[in-house]
Structure 1
Amino acid sequence: MNTKSNFFRIMSLILILFVSTSCEKAKDQPVPFDQEDMIDDEFLTEKFQSQLTPDFVLDVLKKRNKEFVDEKLTIRNTSERIRKASLGQYPGAVVLSCLDSRVPVEDVFHSGIGDLFVARVAGNISNEDIIGSLEFACKVSGAKVVVVLGHEHCGAIKSAIDNVELGNITALLAKIKPAIDAVNNFKGEKSSKNPGYLEAVTQSNVKETISNIRKNSSILKEMEEKGEIKIIGGEYHMETGNVEFIN
């Protein structure tokens, strides 16, 4: 009995050693992948950025979002991109997104280091600091597209509809109120529990933010009028990962 026990104990040790050694070797081996699965470095050079048009960048964003929806593998070649981007940044677009942790902006647009500027604030509202950041992204750093990205099931939108008041959140939610007023003619229950109404306010809020950007930034308004940039809205659909663009 003891001999049998010793035998199985020795065999178990050998198996553990074999698996452990195999795993150590596997860690040193590169994971094979097709080059076409690698995120390109389109937005990592000043020369390339200078040749971009707003429509081209928007097409890239739409294509990359489809890749995300289709669950295309995201390979970020992070070390190489860090080295390439270390001396300068030339993103193609700036995305003003909600704070929501369920909206991973770079993933949504299948992007990596150096591809996008991302500004985040609950309810994707605009204020002086946000607009100043958008001006920096476009006028100073050459981004060609501004995307105001709202999303389904937004807690900030729900809270604004429900008239939540809490600390500094109160002032933030007040910036969403004009979007609620803009859909005053909505037919149906005006409640945060009504998906149709929530959707209407969400899209209204995106449009309201875009309107505020144009109103409060002569820089961005002029750039848009000259065709140097495009300002567009979008709604991220959580069930599918699709971004519905809103003109």
Structure 2
Amino acid sequence: MKYSNLAIAAALLTSSIAFAEEAKVAPTAETQKSLTPESVMADLMAGNKDYVAGKSIDPNIEVRREAGTAGQFPKAYILSCVDSRVPVEQVFNQGIGDLFVGRVAGNIETDEQLGSMEFAAVVGGVKVIMVLGHEACGAVKGACDHVKMGNLTTLLDQITPAIDKVEGHEDDRSSKNEEFVADVVEKNVVLTVDDIRERSKVLADLEKEGKIKIVGGVYSLHTGAVTLQE
């Protein structure tokens, strides 16, 4: 049976209203329990689609802030770079209590981040762990240029494996080559996801059991879109 354009539009409007109403409600233990890794991924990507389109759903800040005093029941942990141009909650159109957000330059999996992710998954109940890299990452550029500066040196060294695995660009493997930097950003996300599985048996086992999903994505500074990485 074919639906008319009017019927389709009505269905989309109903769905949008339902999503908007749901966004006003603070997450609870019951709503968190009903989530699956697949439903959370769908919610995050739908939120990102709205963000790209300039649609922002007010998550009722006052109600959510008050509800948060009784506990937290987030749906995902996002490991992001510290870059100020990547407002993680806004990128996925999420509100207070929806996300754990970990930040470190270059979105690498430090011991502290891994411990935080394990807490988020085992105790916090999240269904998704996402590594979120971004376009024109300054940490990646610094690693490509072999920058040496205090403690930053050790941090950037952890991005070197991604640089080494990117082939080609023999004419220019520096930060001046935007395509090379973009390739390293993507490879760094993929390797970080792999490292999380390798370095955390806790998270790897939860993923094998289907209780969580570990994924990677890259954020575009130009469009605001998140592209998932395989």
Q: Which has the larger radius of gyration?
A: 1
* Distance 1:243-1:45 versus aligned 2 partners, 3 A rule: same
Matched, 1:45 2:28: yes
Runs of 4+ with deviation above 3 angstroms: 34-39, 184-188
State the aligned residue count. 214
Work out the CA distance in 2 between the residues paired with 1:135 and 1:42: 26
Work out the CA distance in 2 between the residues paired with 1:127 and 1:206: 13
TM-score with structure 1 setting the length: 0.82
Pairing partner for 1:72 from 42, 55, 59: 55
Paired amino acid for 2:63? E
* Distance 1:207-1:36 versus aligned 2 partners, 3 A rule: closer
Pairing partner for 2:159 from 170, 173, 176: 176
TM-superposed deviation, 1:188: 5.4
Greater shift in the superposed pair: 184-193 or 104-113:
184-193
Work out the CA distance in 1 between the residues paired with 2:128 and 2:168: 32
Paired amino acid for 2:79? L
What is the aligned partner in structure 1 of residue 131 from structure 2?
A: 148
Q: Percent identical across equivalent pairs?
A: 45
Partner secondary structure for residue 149 of structure 2? coil
List per-residue Cα deviations over 1:82-104 (Å, max 9, x = no partner). 11221111111000000000000
What is the aligned partner in structure 1 of residue 190 from structure 2?
A: 207
What is the aligned partner in structure 2 of residue 107 from structure 1?
A: 90
Work out the CA distance in 1 between the residues paired with 2:200 and 2:169: 30
What is the aligned partner in structure 1 of residue 13 from structure 2?
A: none
What is the aligned partner in structure 2 of residue 227 from structure 1?
A: 210
Pairing partner for 2:199 from 189, 199, 216: 216
TM-superposed deviation, 1:189: 2.8
Superposed counterparts of 1:1-247, under 5 Å = 37=20, 40-41=23-24, 44-186=27-169, 189-247=172-230
TM-score with structure 2 setting the length: 0.88
Mind listing any 5+ residue stretches in structure 1 that lack a counterpart? Answer: 1-33
* Distance 1:187-1:53 versus aligned 2 partners, 3 A rule: farther
What is the root-mean-square deviation of aligned Cα atoms in Å? 1.7
